[in-house]
Structure 1
Amino acid sequence: MIALGHHPTFSVLFPFSQSQLHGHCSSRKLLAPRKDQLYKSVSKPRLMMALASNEEGSIRIGERLYLGMDFGTSGARYALIDKQGTIHSEGKREYPVLMNDEKMDWVRSWRAALFSLLEDIPIHLRPLVASISIDGTSATTLIVDSNTGEPLWRPFLYNESCPDALPTVKSVAPANHTVCSGSSTLCKLVSWWNIEGSNKKSALLLHQADWLLWLLHGKLGVSDYNNALKVGYDPASGSYPSWLRSQPYSQLLPSVIAPGTSIGNLKEEIRTQFGFQEDCIVCAGTTDSIAAFPCSTCNTTWKSCHFFGLNSCY
């Protein structure tokens, strides 16, 4: 079971400028940054919500807790729950405004928010955490070095469109496939592939949640089948389809496992730094909307489920 228990998504788009866009990709409905944000650098994200945690001793002896983190459009949050779904601690952070050449450095900002959330977890609860998982915005894509995990290109955000790649994708994918949209992960991969010339052999595609989880477990190249849908993965067959595997850029595709599957133990240096137990595991993540849906009360056909920034109807 995935270690996610409370997943409100974020609706307010974090503003950034059109000058950040590269190649032929574009971003939709994004606000221009205010002048006071352009050169602002924040070393530590500001805590946005008071932590609500049980007093030490109120948890039964031997009870374990489960940590879920949600990375949305404007910030990140965490919830620490037990097997009954009781929240023992929760909090959230805005993404710090970290600039690089007058552009928002999303990678540094996400990394800072992740470790700030870990610091926000009450010290007496950290040894009780049995597993950790993360959800991220769907189709937020990173191209990283397959040896170091460091990004080779700035991230493609979830709402960016790459119309230059769409004809190529439509020429190989079945009609009306999920990837046949300019904002799909596959279009972002193809757009990068057509621009980049030197780093293709050492490149790897990861989604936002994949990369953040890698910072915790250290095993590169692992994704989940919810995040991988928009790059063309077929969860019904449990594999990438043949039309995708035959493309030269398929070498960048990550391996895919079920959301919530254990990937490995938390890295030793992180356990030592924050005080987690040696047996704490890191599990495959999912997308923000999928994580939010199980936490709703939707349990009948055609009941509408509304979240900030999205609307899912079942």
Structure 2
Amino acid sequence: MMFEGEAEAWLGIDLGTQSVRALLVTADGTVLGAGTAPLTNHRDGVRHEQDPGEWWEAVCRASRAAMSQGSSRVRAIGGLAVCGTSGTVLLTDAQGRPLTRGLMYDDGRAVEEAARAGMQTSWALPKALWLLDAYGPGRVTHQPDVITAQLTGEVIPTDSSHALKTGYDAEREAWPSQLAYLGEVLPEVVRPGTRLGEVCRTAAEATGIPAGTPVIAGMTDGCAAQIASGALRSGAWNSVLGTTLVLKGASASPVRDDAGVVYNHRAPDGSWLPGGASSVGAGALPVGPDPSDMDIRAAEYEPSGALTYPLASPGERFPFLAPEATAFTLGTPTSEADRWAAVLQGVAFTERLCLDYLHHLGAPMDGPLTFTGGAARSAYWNQLRADILGRPARVPEQIEPALGMAVLAAYGTGTGGGALPDVADHMVRIRTVLEPRASHTARFTEPYARLVDELETRGWLPTPLATHTRTRLNQDTIDS
């Protein structure tokens, strides 16, 4: 491909649940090209799989679209990086060719393996053990590794971010001794931001990405969204709200959590990105109504006449671990709009509880909060969340994990301008800054306290966290 423009750009590729997204981004955050291609999900009860061959086909389509849009304005492609869904795993042969379908992050079949490993079923290691038992020998491979192998034409290491939920010890930067019995089944691991290789000629023809383009080790989609938010300095946090809710922050040291609810990714520069994933989110909203219209109508119900704990799927992972948890509603919504409002508010209450838990653990919390994810497109929900949380929040122009991978590619190739937070500062554009409205925050104090009480009564929320939350809530009330 010939380039005629003057800008250097980086390509970020996001392997999502519903689609693959590619963004071509310059050093100042200008998006020169974007492409997307849908993915098919195979669901049956607790089973959730995708076809790895479809991942590659979608990457080719999305990349070609992005490259086609941006080619006239690009002088060179500095590099690319790929993110995938955290905990999605499959088996491949010695040449990197898939032997199984990919078991997605929420595939729930590895219950026995999870119990043996002392992990949640959503983590990759239990699913990898299930695959090895069901299909026999194979190489444990994470979702993006399939794509980077295709791009480079060779089997390459995985990144420590995706390997974390396969049991990788991010502090020692090694596989733990208790997994030694798996031997060569486990891949070699490098830090995110490491150069893996270059786009080979065959991949270039399929994707439209120039041969020789550096391929940089990526991170999970949650970490990619965090990079895209610019929340990379200690004390900053990013709240990713889509089907479910993920909070990730930045810290100079790991945030310790004996309950295993919060886990710590290793940042490319060696610092830490602690966070957790809740099962509440937009996936709990009713299907069918127009979201924009419902947001307008929901504004009349602050607070809602009903209190909802809006799990998108059974079981909770953050801010507490309760596999038996189920969604519930206290009271009866008076209308469809009231029911919609109850879900929006319930998600925000849980988000506040997540932040209270992080405070309880002693995590640094003094930096900015950013909203990303598909739900951040809702201006009403963004303001509601800021009101319920009682703290300011930023919303970037681009809320795509693919942007985070473009930033990481610029950092990894050493051409983006220094440290990762500095590169992100140049490439991430903040669209809106939301200020909480004190009178609105006060409206939600009582229903938030009721939700905390109910979660504790049901035995899901540990009493020490409930007590800490009430203490903070009382302090906030006194201060206001």
* TM-score bracket, shorter-length normalisation: 0.5 to 0.7
Match of residue 87 from structure 1: 31
Q: Which amino acid aligns with 1:158?
A: Y
Give distance in 2, aligned partners of 1:167 and 1:253: 20
Give distance in 1, aligned partners of 2:62 and 2:171: 35
User: Is the contact made by 2:85 and 2:220 (CA closer than 8 Å) also made in structure 1?
Assistant: yes
Give distance in 1, aligned partners of 2:205 and 2:145: 22
Structure 1 residues 266 and 164 mapped into 2: Cα distance closer, same or farther (>3 Å)?
Answer: same
> What is the CA RMSD across the aligned residues, in angstroms?
2.6
Q: How many residues align?
A: 237
Q: Which residue, 154, 161, 176 being the options, matches 1:219?
A: 154
Match of residue 235 from structure 2: 301
Q: Normalization by structure 2: what TM-score?
A: 0.46
Match of residue 152 from structure 1: 99
Give distance in 2, aligned partners of 1:159 and 1:97: 12
Match of residue 133 from structure 1: 81
Match of residue 209 from structure 1: 144
Aligned residues: percent identity?
A: 25
Superposition deviation, residue 128 in structure 1 = 2.0
* Structure 1 segments unaligned to the other structure (5+ residues): 1-55, 171-179
Superposition deviation, residue 312 in structure 1 = 0.3
Q: Report 1:1-314 matches (<5 A).
A: 59-60=5-6, 63-95=7-39, 106-123=51-68, 124=71, 128-147=76-95, 149-161=96-108, 162-170=110-118, 180-197=119-136, 200=137, 203-245=138-180, 247=181, 249-272=182-205, 276-296=209-229, 298=231, 301=235, 303=237, 305-308=239-242, 309-314=244-249
Give distance in 2, aligned partners of 1:93 and 1:150: 22
SS of residue paired to 1:159: coil
User: Is the contact made by 1:96 and 1:112 (CA closer than 8 Å) also made in structure 2?
Assistant: no
Superposition deviation, residue 143 in structure 1 = 0.3
SS of residue paired to 2:97: coil
User: Is the contact made by 1:136 and 1:209 (CA closer than 8 Å) also made in structure 2?
Assistant: yes
Superposition deviation, residue 306 in structure 1 = 3.1
- Pick the structure with more helix per residue: 2
SS of residue paired to 2:178: helix
Structure 1 residues 194 and 238 mapped into 2: Cα distance closer, same or farther (>3 Å)?
Answer: same
Q: Which amino acid aligns with 1:305?
A: S
Structure 1 residues 194 and 87 mapped into 2: Cα distance closer, same or farther (>3 Å)?
Answer: same
User: Is the contact made by 1:210 and 1:285 (CA closer than 8 Å) also made in structure 2?
Assistant: no
Q: Which amino acid aligns with 1:301?
A: G
Superposition deviation, residue 166 in structure 1 = 2.4
SS of residue paired to 1:121: helix
Q: Normalization by structure 1: what TM-score?
A: 0.68
Superposition deviation, residue 84 in structure 1 = 2.1
Give distance in 1, aligned partners of 2:85 and 2:8: 28
Give distance in 1, aligned partners of 2:35 and 2:222: 19
Higher relative contact order (Cα pairs below 8 Å, separated by 6+ residues): 1
User: Is the contact made by 1:127 and 1:277 (CA closer than 8 Å) also made in structure 2?
Assistant: no
Give distance in 2, aligned partners of 1:115 and 1:195: 31
SS of residue paired to 2:173: coil
SS of residue paired to 2:103: coil
Give distance in 2, aligned partners of 1:295 and 1:267: 27
Structure 1 residues 283 and 167 mapped into 2: Cα distance closer, same or farther (>3 Å)?
Answer: same
Superposition deviation, residue 311 in structure 1 = 2.4
Give 1 or 2 for the bigger CA radius of gyration.
2
Q: Which amino acid aligns with 1:110?
A: W
Deviation digits for residues 221-275 of structure 1, max 9, x if unmatched?
4100100000111121111111222x2x242111111112111110112234555
User: Is the contact made by 2:169 and 2:176 (CA closer than 8 Å) also made in structure 1?
Assistant: yes
Q: Which moved more, 1:119-128 or 1:285-294?
A: 119-128
Structure 1 residues 163 and 253 mapped into 2: Cα distance closer, same or farther (>3 Å)?
Answer: same
Superposition deviation, residue 217 in structure 1 = 0.8
User: Is the contact made by 2:8 and 2:26 (CA closer than 8 Å) also made in structure 1?
Assistant: yes
SS of residue paired to 1:295: helix
